[in-house]
Amino acid sequence: MDKVVVITGASSGIGAALADSLAKRGAKLVLAARRKDELEAVAKRTGGLAVVADLTRAEDNQRLAREALAKFGRIDVWVNNAGKGITRAVSQLTDSDIDEMMLFNVKLPLYGMQAVLPHFKERNAGQIINVSSVLGRIPLFMPRAAYSGAKHYLNALTTSLRQELQPTHPGIRVTLVSPGVVKTEFGVNALHGGVDSRTIPTGQEVGEVGELIASVIEEPRDELYTRPAYKQQVADYYASLG
């Protein structure tokens, strides 16, 4: 695969698994996260460029784009994978809870999209991949309500960007990925803690999710549910509402 791929949240979980999958395919990787040691370990085994950055800051996304271009001369794919969960009932949510969910799950990917778009528009080529969640389609799990709402917002931004670009820059693809429970540290890293996602029997193996996202880089399309059953689950939910 002769593509330069930027991955945010690449120090662990889905981001690290995607880096492993793409490295096997020969992609050139630019890996970004806040945790320096963990990020550099992933970069070492995948041959990627590690960029330590706080991607909740727009300027760090701009720096990430500059460093990727300085290293490789182009960017082909930008994967907005970094995000954060929460465990708190709706009746207990605070302003800071909502602000943090919006910062990590809406503003952070928006900053990434805006950082790479000028380069993609100049070439009329490129792919933006936003990693959302099945919870961005249906509110399945009450303690994740604020996360679910933020991912709904991200889904709307993703689809709207696709609509914005289609008339003038049809060479740019905008892809939405919707996993369910994935066996990562997502649960224990959630705001206010939570169940370890790695202990949930129905959870999907992170390596499988990495391979699936790599597949939509090889053959781009607009949407990917990481299990076919999730798409049917969403359809059934809305059908049940009449």
Is-catalytic flag, 147? Answer: yes
What ranges make up the beta strands (E) of 83-157? Answer: 126-131
Q: 80: part of which helix (H) or strand (E)? A: strand 77-80
- Positive or negative, the CA dihedral 10, 198, 109, 113 is positive
Options 111, 147, 153, 225, the catalytic residue: 147
Residue of 175, 181, 117, 176 whose CA lies nearest to 152: 176
Dist. CA 88–CA 99, nearest whole Å:
14
Contact 42, 16 (CB under 8 A): yes
Cβ contacts of 133 within 8 Å, gap of 6 or more: 147, 148, 151, 178, 179, 180
In what helix (H) or strand (E) does residue 16 lie, and over which residues does it extend?
helix 13-24
Q: Which active-site residues does the annotation give?
A: 147
